[in-house]
Chains A and B, each alone.
Chain A
């Protein structure tokens, strides 16, 4: 990095060493830091604590990738992005990857030229109503006023759902989740709808969470996953298999507590391959043998990350549900490490 000076008042960070489109992985290694795009703040998924340290479910994935590539889970520059700036930030190279609860959709994958490398959280749009409303199904919401964030897919899903069920509703447009909480609590709307994880987090902040219920209907599929730029497959593979390593680690029972013990060698060849004591998987990725071990060690396996940030012991209190391992009836299914 060469600093040049402009008008003395303001320094411009110079060009990164190799301007030619070197692989993202080389850029990251040369820089010594991973630029990871996160939200500007979403409960449980990404938020800075009082010391300015980013924490959360999405943040943990950034740290795991940084640990795998650079050997240090703190070698991450978290770049807060909004819903409007996230895609240009990734496309322009300002960030190396986005871990920003972004729904994997056809047009984002194909038309916007991004590559979703997997799914780290299966979400879906749900409804929250006050218990006093006496509603037990979303289909009974005929004529209800609904608080809905404008300009999101939730708005479209809602219209589809009500039209398909031939019932009417009155939308109350709101801009942010904080505003929605206030409006809903003030009784400006009967129903609040957004992603189920967001509803759970919102309900947890209420003074009497028991007075509000989440309706059983989930009206959309929202597979949230990390994404990278189209075309850089080496880098996409690194992020994809870091995520898979976390998921497989849970399936195989590798935790941050027993990982050192296990990396001494076990009878399970797949564990050995993940942890790098057998095979050359790391080398195939362009990393060293212990990449996955470091990735798992930094925040634990998928289950540990989940439990720590959004699981049932946290104020957000999300159940695993769809995000359980396939062996437990969920959708998490990592391809084998072979």
Chain B
């Protein structure tokens, strides 16, 4: 009996796992068909996807790229044999081929398209050191600082002395501030610096620009705001509102938490007022009421008015999002900052804000996305953003009746931008994740 050994003396070779648990089959079995209920759900979902795609895809892949009008598209479709119960079925992509440039640039002069394109390429360059701080040399931040002056100059054109003068205001404000804060208190420095900058911008810079322009007329062709339209308008409003609302929102959020009573109530009043009215009301104020209040003959640029209103609106929401981040910080962080002997601004900059902003990232980005999509509301006050243009395009007798193609194209463009922002925020959250949770 002893020669029957039940114990192996040598190792068996490793074997592949059963085919049903590896690869696509195994994955499907584990995730899609793990029991009878999941199998039914999987089959039902597959059928639903099939039904939707089989309805949409033939419509999307329609040979009408060269159509010259809606009727022409229908002829093409009839010739191709795609005729359903309710007449021809298929998209009429000719409208996109003919109008996509208009949907992107509005009425911007076509020989100057390089300017908005360059402006948005440079925008990416200027944003890179901010967005990807660890991958881009920090010296690029100098360019980011100059970019707010390059951007409007590229889009609106005109003399180069305009943005130079605007930049000069900051320089003058800074010089006055540092001089006054050395000799007097720093509060006086801030007040005098701001006053000097404002005097420069509103009183002196006009003469400065006029004088330098007559001596040294360097400039590019000016483009009126009325020529702005399409996606360029949306992005311009969106970028300016996003870029300006974040710092403004931080200031408002800090102001709301401030111990200084007047500052606090001004901030609370502003935030609650702006959040209490719909954006569309503010836009109507910008487009109609301001015109009536201002002296006759004043021509206050409509896009500038809209920019200001959208920025204020976004800033109020941003302030509340950031206040949420501030509220989420444990009190110990503030006390820790105090115990290190940091003053208010140092504590904010080094300890409070980096944490509060990190907590607020999802809220901030969703506010950004919301603001970007809200820019389409300007079509209601007669600005031709993509939605306004879609209406104008339908007013062309050739394209009257085209609906889905235009909206689909616009939705696609918006999706690209919003999805991009959303992915970036997830990247940023992962990068800044320091393991508190």
Contact = CB atoms under 8 A, between A and B. Distances in A.
B151 A80 contact: no
B288 A207 contact: no
Interface string B138-168: 0000000000110110001011001101110
Given A41-B392, A85-B382, A11 B299 contact: no
B74 A207 contact: yes
Contact of A204 (B162, B288, B392, B400): B400
A285 interface: no
A47 B397 CA distance: 9
Nearest to A211: B87
A153 interface: no
A2 interface: yes
Contact of B396 (A43, A80, A208): A43
Interface in B349-401: 379-384, 388, 391-398, 400-401
A259 B285 CA distance: 47
Most chain B beta-carbon neighbours within 10 Å: one of A8, A14, A84: A8
Contact of B299 (A15, A88, A89): A15
Interface in A267-324: 314-316
Interface stretch (B49-57, B128-136, B300-308, B418-426): B300-308
A151 to B, nearest CB: 13
Interface residues of B, number: 70
A117 to B, nearest CB: 21
A81 interface: yes
Given A88-B291, A93-B296, A52 B102 contact: yes
Interface string B74-89: 1000000000001110
B292 interface: yes
Contacts of A88: 287-289, 291-292
Contacts of A205: 70, 400-401
Contacts of A93: 291, 296-297
B205 A44 contact: no
Interface residues of A, number: 63
Contact of A80 (B162, B298, B392): B392
B206 A43 contact: no
B361 to A, nearest CB: 25
B304 A47 contact: no
B422 to A, nearest CB: 27
B381 A181 contact: no
Contact of B102 (A5, A27, A44, A48): A48
B37 interface: no
Contacts of A6: 166, 201-202, 304
A94 B99 CA distance: 28
Interface in A39-58: 39-52, 56
Interface string A16-30: 101111000001000
B397 A314 contact: yes
B396 A47 contact: yes
B284 interface: yes
A82 B296 contact: no
Contact of A3 (B162, B170, B240): B162
A207 to B, nearest CB: 4
B152 A11 contact: yes
Contacts of A56: 395
A47 B395 contact: yes
Interface in A192-209: 201-202, 204-208
Nearest to B244: A9
A14 B299 contact: yes
Nearest to A182: B403
A46 B307 CA distance: 27
Contacts of B74: 207
A172 interface: no
Nearest to B300: A12
A92 interface: yes
B33 interface: no
A264 interface: no
B99 A181 contact: no
B392 A4 contact: no
B226 interface: yes
A46 B162 CA distance: 36
A204 B397 contact: yes
Nearest to A21: B296
Given A15-B299, A40-B392, A5 B201 contact: yes
A91 interface: yes
A211 to B, nearest CB: 10
A8 B166 contact: yes
Contacts of A85: 284, 287-288, 381-382
A208 B85 CA distance: 13
Which 7 residue pairs across A and B have the least CB separation, nearest first? A8-B166, A41-B395, A205-B401, A92-B291, A47-B395, A41-B392, A88-B288
18 contacts: A4-B205, A6-B201, A10-B304, A10-B307, A11-B152, A15-B298, A19-B296, A19-B297, A43-B394, A77-B226, A85-B382, A88-B291, A88-B292, A92-B291, A176-B391, A207-B88, A315-B69, A315-B71
Given A7-B166, A42-B395, 4 more contacts: A13-B225, A15-B297, A41-B394, A204-B400
